[in-house]
Amino acid sequence: MNHLALLLAAATVAAAGIVTGGTAAAADLAVSVGPVRDAAGQVKVVLYDRPDAFRKEAQSRAIQTVPAVPGMVEVVFRDLPAGTYAIMAYHDEDASGDLNRFLGMIPTEGYALSNDPEVTGPPSFEASAFALPAAGSKLKLSLRY
């Protein structure tokens, strides 16, 4: 009877491997942000996967928040499908949960965008977009204060 149970267990494991064998591998994305100028507040890294959601945190793919430390901070987004993404990160010095802006437009806290595009108005998804391969990737974002 134990032999039959072992055979059934082995068949179940093999079938599970066949079923999941066709699925795409999940990628990890490591993101370094900095240099953070001081330990005030937190650093928020927001990952977007759609142009219409860009800069709308509630519609982002994922958000990671870490305590601010002088220098570089790193977050890892795990198990992402390969595809096109954009990132906006900022040093939320007062830990308000939002990027503070002068007159509602000009950032007063450090911010960074993937691809480090020149910004003369609201940043776009297209200018910040990058391809995440199935093997994963590492990015370094430079904060602008």
Eight-class DSSP state of 3? H
Calculate mean pLDDT across residues 38-61: 98
- Half-sphere exposure (Cβ direction) of 79: Cα atoms closer than 13 Å: 1
* Residue 15: per-residue pLDDT: 41
Percent of the chain with pLDDT over 70: 83
What does the H/E/C string look like for the chain?
Answer: CHHHHHHHHHHHHHHHHHHHCCCCCCEEEEEEEEEECCCCCEEEEEEECCHHHCCCHHHCCEEEEEECCCEEEEEEEEEECCEEEEEEEEEECCCCCCCCEECCCEECCCEEECCCCCCCCCCCHHHHCEEECCCCEEEEEECEC
Range among 14-18, 104-108, 137-141 rated most confident: 137-141
Residue 112 has pLDDT above 50, yes or no: yes
Output the furthest CA–CA distance in the chain (Å, rounded). 76
Residue extents of the structural domains in the chain: 25-142
Residue 16 has pLDDT above 50, yes or no: no
* Residue 24: per-residue pLDDT: 60
Percent of the chain with pLDDT over 90: 80
The helix/strand/coil state of 97 is coil
The CATH classification number of 25-142 equals 2.60.40.10
